Amino acid sequence: MTEGLQGPAPDERPQPSGRRNAQGIRIDPEVAAEPESRRTVLSALVENEPGVLAKISGLVSRRQFNIESLTVGTTTNPETSRVTLVIEEPEPGVRQVEKQLDKVINVISVRELGDDAVRRELVVLKVHGEEPDKVNAVTEMYDGTTLDAGPRTITVQITGDEQKIDDAIDAFRQFGIRELARTGQTALARGEEWTTHAEEERYERVHDT
């Protein structure tokens, strides 16, 4: 105990040549590249209890996940709600959101939906009412519904996938959009596929009794 710490200095030691990327994945130094983000939909079946939405939104914000939209509503079973999140993350981030959501005790089941999932969004927008005929034409073009028409404003609703909503909003800009509210996407798996793993079992349990 009189020598102090010994050994070769940092730059005298052998160092391995391998590298990992920011996600901790080993990479070939020749083709080092950050994974690209992708936009996807996660669906979570949750217990319908007070505070569940706060837990999920708190989880999302404190872990810095890049969330595009989050929608919630009850299901046919009054004890459960469905949460639909649209996220934009690289692959490891998508998996992390899924696993962190699954850790929340009130979350029953969670899954990423495929590209073929049925996705819908609703927008309610209010435009200036000087040209009601033209507004009506655009509304019809997007299979929308007029909810309110007054001398100065017209309010319409449009439903559809995200792209259609974006296009519709663009089309309505010519009249001057006063206000707008969009819901964010909600979605179900297509066809006979169950949206999350727990759904079939829960469906049968409810329909047996």
Partner 1 sequence: MSEQQPTHRPDADEPATAEATTAEEMAADDASAEAASPEDDAGARPVTTGSESVVRALETAGVEHLFGVQGGAIMPVYDALYDSDLSHVTMAHEQGAAHAADAYGIVSGDPGVCLATSGPGATNLVTGLADASLDSDPMIALTGQVPTAMVGSDAFQEADTTGITSPVTKENYFASDADTVGDAVGEAFALADEGRQGPTLVDLPKDVTNGATEQEPAAGSTPETYDPPERAEREAVTAAADAIASAERPVILAGGGVIKAEACDELRQFATEYGIPVVTTMPAVGAFPEDHDLAMEMAGMHGTGYANMAITHCDAMFAVGTRFDDRLTGGVETFAPEAEIVHADIDPAEISKNVHADYPLLGDAGTVIDQVHDALAEERAADMSATGERWTAWREQCRDWKDEYPMDYATPADEPLKPQFVVEAVDAATADDTIVTTGVGQHQMWAVQYWTYTQPRTWVSSHGLGTMGYGLPSAIGARFAADDDQSVVCFDGDGSFLMTLQELAVAVRENLDITVFVLNNEAVGMVRQWQDGFFEGRRMASEYPWIPDFETLAEAFGARGYTINATDDESEVEDVVSEALGYDGPSVVDAHIDPTENVYPMVPSGGANGEFVLAEDQL
DSSP per residue, 71-109: EEEE-SSTTEEEEEEEEEE-HHHHHHHHHHHHHSTTEEE
CA distance 85 to 184: 9
* Tokens (6 digits) for 90: 């690289």
Min dist CB 26 to partner 1, Å, is 7
Q: Which stretch binds partner 1 (CB under 8 A): 82-90, 93-101, 118-126, 157-165?
A: 93-101
- How many CB atoms lie under 10 A from the CB of residue 109? 19
Min dist CB 48 to partner 1, Å, is 13
Contacts (CB under 8 A) with partner 1, residues 19-38: 19-26
Please, which residue, 31 or 105, has the CB nearer to partner 1?
105
- Report CA 186 to chain centroid distance, whole Å: 9
Min dist CB 102 to partner 1, Å, is 7
Min dist CB 104 to partner 1, Å, is 8
* 78 touches partner 1 by CB under 8 A: no
Measured between its terminal Cα atoms, the distance across the chain in Å is 76
Please, which residue, 99 or 128, has the CB nearer to partner 1?
99
Number of helices (H), then strands (E), in the chain: 5, 11
Please report, as ranges, the residues that interact with partner 1 according to CB under 8 A. 1-11, 13-26, 47, 50-51, 54-55, 58-59, 62, 92, 95-96, 99-100, 102-103, 105-108
